Amino acid sequence: MKSYTRLREKQKQFFYSGITKEYSFRIKQLKCFSTMLKNNEKKLLQALNDDLNKSYEEAFLTEMGPLYQELSYMIKHLPEWTKAKKVKTATSHVGSKGYIYHEPYGVALIIAPWNYPLQLALAPVIGALAAGNCVVLKPSEFTPHTSSVLSEIVRDTFSDEYFTVVEGAVETSQQLLAEPFDYIFFTGSVNVGKAVMEAAAKHLTPVTLELGGKSPAIVHEDAKLDLAAKRIAWGKFINAGQTCVAPDYVLVHEQIKEQFLSKLNQYIDQLFTASFERNRYPRIVTNRHFTRLLSFLDDGDIYLGGHFKEEDCVLSPTVLTNVSLDSNIMKEEIFGPILPIIPYQKIEEVLYLVREQPNPLALYVFTENKEIEQKIIHGLSFGGGCVNDTILHLATPHLPFGGVGASGMGAYHGYESFNTFSHRKSILKQTTAFDLPIRYKQGKVALALLRKLFK
**Spans of all domains in the chain:** 5-211+405-427, 216-395
Do the beta carbons of residue 185 and residue 112 sit within 8 Å?
no
Catalytic residue status for 373? no
The CATH class that applies to domain 216-395 reads alpha beta
Q: Averaged over 5-16, what is the pLDDT?
A: 97
Residue 1 has pLDDT above 60, yes or no: no
Residue 431: how many other CB atoms lie within 10 Å: 12
> What's the CA gap between 104 and 344, in Å, rounded?
49
φ/ψ of residue 391, rounded to 5: 70, -35
> What's the CA gap between 370 and 375, in Å, rounded?
8
pTM for this prediction: 0.94
Neighbouring residues of 42: CB distance < 8 A, sequence distance ≥ 6:
none
Residue type, 354: V
Q: Averaged over 18-46, what is the pLDDT?
A: 97
Q: Please report, in angstroms and rounded to a whole number, the separation of the first and last CA atoms in the chain.
A: 59
Give 300-308 contacts, CB < 8 A, sequence gap 24+. Answer: 300/324, 300/327, 300/329, 300/340, 303/261, 303/265, 303/341, 304/265, 304/268, 305/268, 305/337, 305/338, 307/276
Neighbouring residues of 155: CB distance < 8 A, sequence distance ≥ 6:
164, 165
3-state secondary structure of 304: strand
**pLDDT for 166-205, tens place per residue?**
999 999 999 999 999 999 999 999 999 999 999 999 999 9
Q: Averaged over 220-230, what is the pLDDT?
A: 97
The active-site residue out of 58, 63, 179, 210 is: 210
CA distances for 18 relative to 75, 104, 131, 165, 178, angstroms: 20, 10, 13, 22, 26
The active-site residue out of 244, 333, 386, 416 is: 244
**pLDDT for 334-391, tens place per residue?**
999 999 999 999 999 999 999 999 999 999 999 999 999 999 999 999 999 999 999 9
Residue 300 has pLDDT above 80, yes or no: yes
Residue 3 has pLDDT above 80, yes or no: no
> What's the CA gap between 417 and 70, in Å, rounded?
10
The CATH class that applies to domain 5-211+405-427 reads alpha beta
Residue 400: which pLDDT band, with cuts at 50, 70 and 90? very high
CA distances for 443 relative to 77, 435, 436, 448, 449, angstroms: 52, 19, 16, 9, 10
> What's the CA gap between 395 and 376, in Å, rounded?
22
Residue 314: which pLDDT band, with cuts at 50, 70 and 90? very high
> What's the CA gap between 403 and 37, in Å, rounded?
28
Catalytic residue status for 210? yes
3-state secondary structure of 338: strand
Residue 155 has pLDDT above 90, yes or no: yes
